[in-house]
Amino acid sequence: MTKDKAYEPFEVDQRMVAHSNYWAGEMGSRFYITLRDKKKILGVRCTKCNKTFWPPRTTCVFCFSKLDELVEIGPYGTLETFTLVTYSEPVHPRKAPFVYGIVKLDGADTGMAHFIDEVDFNKVHIGMRVKPVFAKEKKGNILDIQYFKPI
């Protein structure tokens, strides 16, 4: 007869990489296709709240209305906040060090995280005006905007 042995909880520290494809959704698909094919950035408007969201979403976060009024925004924007990333992770699309910031495009009421480049970190500041640099080879993802740089 064997006696059940009690084990202490055992944690394994590891990283998993899972390459996958997923449907970006109707709104996401329109956003990425327009970005890839026309180098235009779309937001979506809630006419009830008078807010424009970037990236576009299907539901207003304030009034829960279904959204479908896409509008062109940017391409210029304002840096809302930023940080210097000093370590590399496999999930980062580039090696550290790099600056990551929240960019609120002209015409949008929300910001989105993206790379800030072509500027000395000591000169990056909140309120800095930026514009996108588009990737030469478009793949239909957010990195079709390679990064934002100061105007």
- Please give the residue ranges that form the binding site for Zn ion (CB under 5 A): 46, 48-49, 60, 62-63, 65
Which residue pairs from 118-126 have beta carbons closer than 8 angstroms and sit at least 24 positions apart in sequence? 118/147, 118/149, 118/150, 119/149, 119/150, 121/84, 121/97, 123/150, 124/79, 124/82, 124/99, 125/79, 126/79, 126/80, 126/81, 126/82
| Nearer CB in complex with Zn ion: 59/83 | 59
| Nearer CB in complex with Zn ion: 34/59 | 59
Write down the least CB distance from residue 48 to Zn ion, Å.
Answer: 5
Write down the least CB distance from residue 43 to Zn ion, Å.
Answer: 13
Write down the least CB distance from residue 73 to Zn ion, Å.
Answer: 17
| Nearer CB in complex with Zn ion: 49/70 | 49
How many other β-carbons are positioned within 10 Å of the β-carbon of residue 7?
Answer: 6
Write down the least CB distance from residue 25 to Zn ion, Å.
Answer: 18
3: left (phi over 0), alpha (psi -120 to 50) or beta: beta
Write down the least CB distance from residue 26 to Zn ion, Å.
Answer: 18
SS3 state at 22 = coil
| Nearer CB in complex with Zn ion: 49/84 | 49
| Nearer CB in complex with Zn ion: 65/88 | 65
Q: Tell me 96's DSSP state.
A: S
- Are the C-beta atoms of residues 148 and 80 closer than 8 Å to each other? no
